[in-house]
Chains A and B, each alone.
Chain A
Amino acid sequence: MFGPLLYGVAASSVMSGTSLLYATLGEIVGERGGIVNLGLEGIMLVGAASGFAMTALTGNPYLGLAAAAVAGTALNLIFAYLVVSRRANQLATGLTLMFFGLGLSALVGRPFVGALITGLPKLHLFGGGGARGGLLNYDVLVYLAVPVSVLIWWLLFRTRWGLELRAVGESPAAALAAGVRPPRLQYQALALAGLLGGIAGAHLSLALTLTWAEGMTAGRGFIAIALVIFAKWNPLWAIAGALLFGGAESLQLQLQAAGADVSPFIMNMVPYLLTLIVLIVWGWSRQTAAPAALGRTFFGVE
């Protein structure tokens, strides 16, 4: 019994964790630049809706993926304009963005509810196929998830751009003094974050399910925000975190299918409780891996 259970959990963790991972990566990039985006949920929804709409219109899921990326980027640029150029309050703007995305995605998606689409095709690797799916039988976004995480890690920690961005995230004033232009970097970071968030949403509507429904992200954007902290703003840790959090979500369903008695509600609390506990532990040991400029907005423990 454990064999199929473990396999099932692993497989569905990967599937549910993928969109979480992309969203988390995007948020990490933004927060490394000192900007927290509470509206990630809205970005994902817009990505999901536009991706679905484009796929329904053109029949090509890859075009849908592109549309989702563009939509997410565009929406986050609005956010960027407000918080970077207009210096608007990040939290209030982020929450507003969430509502905006909620409404916009509902409007965009409405004509397409119930449309039947061909989603992102599953690509067999190493002899897949059949009901069990073989060893590796996922869509392209799943396969790219880890490489993209490594890419983002490399971008943040091994390139000049990443260095400058992190400098801005630590102290915009110091960065400015060193000749870096914070606004330009923050815009770029937020554009990238929007792109990743849009893709994260698209995975939900083009791969995990083949539908669009209002509000279908069901809080995943906020789980991603928690996941960023849990992963200590490090893209590599985010992979483990996404598997863990994605796993918690699907574990309880798998356990039920295997016949175990598990409360879905307790299980759903796990990501949030875990993050809270981790935060308390860090606070206790005085570690803060957070970019310092996130401080005033988000993390300033005096």
Chain B
Amino acid sequence: MPRDGAALWRMLSAQTAAVALVALIALSAFSALLLAAGGNPLKAYADTVVYVFGNAYGFSELLVRMTPLLLTAIAAALPARIGLINVGAEGQLYMGAWLATGGELALQDHSAFVVLPLLTLLGFIGGGLWALLPALLRVLRLVNETISTLLLNYIAPLIVSYFIFGPWRSPESASYPQSPAFVDAARLPTFFHSRVHAGLIYAAVCLALYWLVMTRTRFGLEMRAIGGNPEAARRLGIPVFRYILIVMFVAGGIAGLSGMAEVSAIQGRLVSELSPGYGFIGFLVAWLAGTSASGIVIMSFLFAVLSSVGDMLQITQSLPFSVINILMAGILFIVLGRRPARRTA
């Protein structure tokens, strides 16, 4: 981290310039592709700019979209600091949502002051436990966490579906499989008549804590030591295994928080389709950001803007929303190809 203001400014500008350049290249290629497909890229971008920056709702939706990404990105970034690869944020999100829903169903008659903190805790624990399993397997030298978190990603939504089709099926709408609606006390509050919800606060808190811990505490130092050279760290007396377990639990818990926020704030109940890939996109965000807190914010913002472009393409030009993945992937390809795989910032 540069020490003086001028150097900091130069570094940030250089980074921003690099990002802008990459974005511009990818954008041009994508625009060409859209033109070939019969779309009107300039109009789409223009519509997006107007929608996103020209009115409060559009901007608020950006924040709504960023929220789960911020959380799942930390869920990937935190373990990355000690050299672990957590691609399991998707599953951890679902399990956080699942446990939170279980709690909600059991706590129907209490006030929000009691219910919400409890649900938050349950969301954290649900995701945390789901990440703890791969951590245990890693510590016991049985299975590498990359593959175990990946596999668990696919089991978690099936568990959720099993419950909402079965024991947790809503009787009031027996005609549609979903959990009963959350009582009002269990709904995270929203702000300013938009859909921006308290999950954003969770994300902000987690980000702040993440930055604080990594840069200002002994833990952060020890984690970076492990990430640099686990053997040396062990010889220095750092309890590597303990870190693996705790860090994965916390990371999973943070992803679980995003799941809890999805069911409590956005959906208002447990449904089978909670996440359009937030876990994977979060991983990519963390990777792009070099696992730095500020990078995570910038990249989440970028992806949120891309999603809005996707909406516009769909509404105004009848192109499938999914084409936005081409642009997102294109940007990533360019970045992946430009710099050698580097360690944490």
Contacts and interface: CB of A to CB of B under 8 A. Distances in A.
Q: Do A and B bind each other?
A: yes
Interface of A: 38, 78, 81-82, 86-89, 91-93, 95-100, 102-104, 106-107, 110, 214-215, 219, 222, 225-226, 229, 263, 265-266, 268-269, 272-273, 275-276, 279-280, 283-284, 297-302
B144 A229 contact: no
B158 A99 contact: no
25 contacts: A78-B333, A82-B336, A82-B337, A96-B336, A99-B284, A99-B325, A99-B332, A100-B325, A100-B329, A103-B324, A103-B329, A106-B323, A107-B322, A215-B322, A229-B147, A266-B162, A280-B137, A280-B142, A283-B140, A297-B146, A298-B144, A299-B146, A300-B144, A301-B142, A301-B144
Given A95-B284, A103-B322, A86 B337 contact: yes
A198 B25 CA distance: 28
Contacts of A87: 340-341
A138 B256 CA distance: 45
Contacts of B37: 107, 110
B85 interface: yes
A272 B91 CA distance: 13
A266 B159 CA distance: 8
Contacts of A302: 141, 230
B336 A263 contact: no
Contacts of B161: 265
A276 B143 contact: yes
B155 A263 contact: no
B301 interface: no
Closest 5 CB pairs of A and B: A103-B325, A283-B142, A100-B329, A106-B322, A103-B326
Interface in B293-345: 319-320, 322-330, 332-333, 336-338, 340-341
B326 A276 contact: no
A124 B332 CA distance: 47
Contacts of B137: 280, 283
Interface string B137-169: 110111110111011101100110110011000
A33 to B, nearest CB: 18
A272 B281 CA distance: 22
B280 interface: yes
B33 interface: yes
Given A88-B337, A103-B323, A279 B154 contact: no
The binding surface of chain A is classed by DSSP as helix
Contacts of A88: 336-337, 341
B326 A104 contact: yes
A299 B147 contact: yes
B333 A275 contact: no
Nearest to B330: A100
B87 A95 contact: yes
Contacts of B152: 272, 276
A106 B340 CA distance: 31
Given A276-B143, A279-B147, A301-B143, A110 B326 contact: no
B202 interface: no
A107 B144 contact: no
B196 to A, nearest CB: 26
Interface of B: 33, 37, 85, 87, 137-138, 140-144, 146-148, 150-152, 154-155, 158-159, 161-162, 165-166, 230, 277, 280-281, 283-284, 287, 319-320, 322-330, 332-333, 336-338, 340-341
Contacts of B33: 107
Nearest to B154: A272
B29 to A, nearest CB: 12
Contact of A91 (B87, B138, B320, B327): B87
A78 to B, nearest CB: 7
Nearest to A300: B144
B323 A276 contact: no
Given A91-B146, A275-B151, A301 B333 contact: no
B30 to A, nearest CB: 10
Contacts of A298: 144, 146-147
A279 B142 contact: yes
Contact of B283 (A95, A97, A102, A222): A95
B158 A268 contact: yes
Contacts of A104: 325-326
Nearest to B146: A298
Contacts of B138: 301
B150 A222 contact: yes
B166 A263 contact: yes
A89 to B, nearest CB: 5
Contacts of A38: 87, 150
A33 B337 CA distance: 20
Nearest to A263: B162
Nearest to A283: B142
Interface centre among A92, A100, A273, A302 (most CB of B within 10 A): A92
A92 B283 contact: yes
Contact of B326 (A78, A107, A215, A269): A107
Contact of A95 (B143, B280, B338, B341): B280
A269 B85 CA distance: 23
Contact of A110 (B148, B158, B320): B320
Contacts of A263: 162, 165-166
A81 B320 CA distance: 28
A297 B159 CA distance: 29
